[in-house]
Amino acid sequence: MAARGGHLCAGCEADIFDARQRRSLCRACGAELSISALCGNCVRGAAIDALACAIDYQFTGQLLIQMYKEGGQLALANLLGDLMVRAAKPLFDELKPDAWVPIPASAARLGHTGFSPAQQLARVVASLTATPCRLEWLAQVRDGSPQKTLGRFERLNAVKGRFVANAAVAGLCIGLVDDVVTTSSTVAEAARTLKAAGAKRVIVLAAARTPLSA
């Protein structure tokens, strides 16, 4: 069946969306588990209350993200945002965000692509869920080091103190939006920052997650 209206065809959707949604994943970081619960890292305490990702960052899913981020095909934000909301629907009965807040783009990212991938996705998600998008509620106070070559613990140290949150988040459930989650260190640090400013709950919604076994 051919794709229509900016959506994936049935075959591609089954391969890159449905396949991830059927697997047992850690509720807080999205790592793959043998049973659905929390992974060994998150069971000891996680800043993130729940995390949902639409697709895996590999093969066709990775190509789709690269077309969006590196190829400048901003129209793909609509496709990805729709998949993200569908992936998060099981969470909304329990954890419906009061506002969506994107992970701020680094100066290097803005200089490279000219736009913030997470911000564009957050606007689409906000529109689809009739929930406000608050760009000013999370700011980046320093650029993080490039993380592609860093291990898990190096990434955790690299993101410490990277963000500052607006006091307006106090008492609210915040939906944090990112484009790609790799080890979850960046979104976890953002969640800690939001909770330190008084946020009651933080859920993370991402377009893609690098497959990682717990």
Task: Find, among 3, 182, 16, the residue nearest to 84 by Cα.
Answer: 16
Q: Collapsing DSSP states into helix, strand and coil, what is residue 76? A: helix
Domains of the chain: 10-209 (3.40.50)
Average of per-residue pLDDT across 143-149: 56
Query: Where does residue 122 rank: exposed (0-12), middle (13-18), buried (19+ CB within 10 A)?
Result: buried
Q: pLDDT, tens digit, for every residue of 19-78? A: 899 998 999 999 888 665 788 788 777 899 999 999 999 999 999 999 999 998 999 999
Q: pLDDT, tens digit, for every residue of 90-141? A: 999 899 999 999 999 988 878 888 899 999 999 999 999 999 999 999 999 8
Q: How confident is the model at residue 164 (pLDDT cuts 50, 70, 90)?
A: very high
Q: Distance between CA 95 and CA 28 in Å, rounded?
A: 13
- Cβ–Cβ under 8 Å, residues 59 and 20: no
What is the residue whose two structure tokens read 């783009």?
105
What is residue 2's predicted lDDT score, i.e. its pLDDT? 45
At 104, phi and psi to the nearest 5?
A: -65, 140
User: Which pTM does this prediction carry?
Assistant: 0.89
